[in-house]
Amino acid sequence: MFKKRWLLVFTALVLLVLFVPACGGGDEEPISTPTTTPIVTATPTSTSTSIATPTAMPTAAPTITPTSTGPVKLGGICPWSGAAAVSGTGMADPMIKLTEWQVKQEGGILGGRDLKIVRYDNRGSVAEAVAGARKVMDDDKVSALLWGGVSGAESEAMANFAEQNKILYVMYGAINNAEERSFTLSATVSYRDLTIPIINLVTKVLKPKTVGYLCTDLSDSRERVPIYKAGFEPAGTETVYEQYVTLGTADLSSYLTQMKYKNPDLLIIDSGNNEFLMTIAQQVMELGGWGNTKVITLAPGEFARSRAGAQGWYVTAMWAKGLTHPGALKFENDFKAAVGGTPMATQVYYYNAIWTAIEAIKLAGTDTDREKIANLARFSGKLEWETPMGRAHYTAESLGYPQLTPTMCQIIDKVMTRVEIPE
């Protein structure tokens, strides 16, 4: 049984450095800034399988409860300064601008009220993520919490805070101890759903005889690799190379040289760190390129798309230009109107979190009863909306997941192009 934990993908956004003009955030208000820099700690692992139950779950159709005035507020917590600052400036800010604009275009929520996302800069710190949650909940009276940071440790701390304080928390990706969470929702995919499209691409399209793995030395990569191996085993794919690299290693040439000597038909680069992927894309060309080896990466591979070494890579994506379902078209068209240009697939992590919280508040008909918002979102089975990835549907049985699946893209001429995988 696959674990429901994913140390995110947003370790996936720790050092976002490619900044496109369309990602500008506009004239936002000042961000709350912390004054201390605690040490980030690792995320614990739990094997509990108990099922969370709501403290109260209204069953009647929601009605708007006009108990507050002014904008409906959400608390957005992630780095806007420090090494991961572009996760705030390049990812969160454009999505804040977009969603606040979208709510205005729809005539507001809860009887015509605007949306306001209160930003808190946690600088990539676990302790500051929790401090930010406390600040925006108590001082700014937000109705729900978003994002939480860029690492699994930050997300775990935020989920614990949400449980203790009975406030909805919508995070980027997989939920640790999902069975025990009553107040945490995922905005994108489960750990299992992240690996499925890769396994399908490999076994149904690429069909390599040999495979190698080059990964950052983190628990999420070490746990995913056995899942890949199990998925490839029926096709008889042989592992010929497997290396785990300490995060922050600047010179990857020795690993790439070893990999090239083994010459696998396919290399899976499992890392949520875009700098790691961009470094590989650069340094492999200094060693003569990939040869006949094909490459698959996780979502941050998108950030290397302008580099020659990334051409031809297959990348997991939360959205791709050319998808025709309603949520995908709305995301693309509204981004062009409100922000300008074309959105990045990785921005969907932030976008989905915002709209999941908005739809939960609309479902509850109130922005002040935080427990009601969370209980209906998590357990009622009525929380559904059209995301850029398809139609999300949260049920008690889905354990806080929207039941979505990533798509696969290939970098062709510096553009993310969707790949069709046979059923």
Q: Would you say residue 17 has pLDDT above 80?
A: no
> Over the stretch 197-217, which tens digit does the pLDDT of each residue have?
999 999 999 999 999 999 999
Three-class SS state of 244: strand
Contact 401, 305 (CB under 8 A): no
Q: Cα–Cα distance between 423 and 419 in angstroms, integer?
A: 13
What is the Cα Rg of the chain in Å?
21
pTM exceeds cut of 0.95: no
**H or E element in which residue 384 lies:** strand 383-387
Count the alpha carbons within 13 Å of 388 in the hemisphere toward its beta carbon. 30
Identify the pLDDT of residue 71. 97
Identify the pLDDT of residue 31. 59
Q: How does the average pLDDT of the chain come out, rounded?
A: 86
> Over the stretch 37-71, which tens digit does the pLDDT of each residue have?
332 333 333 333 334 444 444 444 455 444 567 99
Identify the pLDDT of residue 20. 35
Residues present in the chain in total: 423
Three-class SS state of 316: strand
Q: Cα–Cα distance between 149 and 130 in angstroms, integer?
A: 10
Residue type, 151: S
Q: Cα–Cα distance between 394 and 352 in angstroms, integer?
A: 13
Identify the pLDDT of residue 338. 98
Contact 28, 100 (CB under 8 A): no
Contact 177, 46 (CB under 8 A): yes
Please give the structure tokens belonging to residue 339. Answer: 């922000």
Contact 347, 338 (CB under 8 A): no
CB within 8 Å of 344: residues ≥ 6 apart: 20, 23, 91, 302
241 closest CA partner among 223, 259, 226, 224: 259
Environment class of 282 (CB within 10 Å of its CB; exposed 0-12, middle 13-18, buried 19+): middle
If one compares 229 and 28, the residue with the highest pLDDT of the two is: 229
Count the alpha carbons within 13 Å of 266 in the hemisphere toward its beta carbon. 23
> Over the stretch 242-286, which tens digit does the pLDDT of each residue have?
999 998 899 999 999 999 999 999 999 998 777 899 999 999 999
CATH number of 21-189+325-405: 3.40.50.2300
The Cα-based distances of 111 to 67, 69, 140, 166 in angstroms read 11, 10, 21, 25
If one compares 88 and 191, the residue with the highest pLDDT of the two is: 88
CATH number of 192-317: 3.40.50.2300
Other Cβ atoms less than 10 A from the Cβ of 107: the count is: 9
CB within 8 Å of 309: residues ≥ 6 apart: 280, 281, 282, 283, 284, 285, 289, 290
Q: Name the CA dihedral angle for 314, 319, 322, 323, rounded to a multiple of 10 degrees.
A: 120
Please give the structure tokens belonging to residue 256. Answer: 């790439």
Q: What share of the chain is helix, strand, coil (3-state, %, to 5)?
A: 40, 20, 45
Where in the chain are all domains bearing CATH 3.40.50.2300?
A: 21-189+325-405, 192-317
The Cα-based distances of 6 to 186, 408, 420 in angstroms read 11, 19, 25
> Over the stretch 103-154, which tens digit does the pLDDT of each residue have?
999 999 999 999 999 999 999 899 999 999 999 999 999 999 999 988 778 8
The number of angstroms, rounded, from the C-alpha of 201 to the middle of its chain's C-alpha atoms is 21
Please give the structure tokens belonging to residue 259. Answer: 């990999």
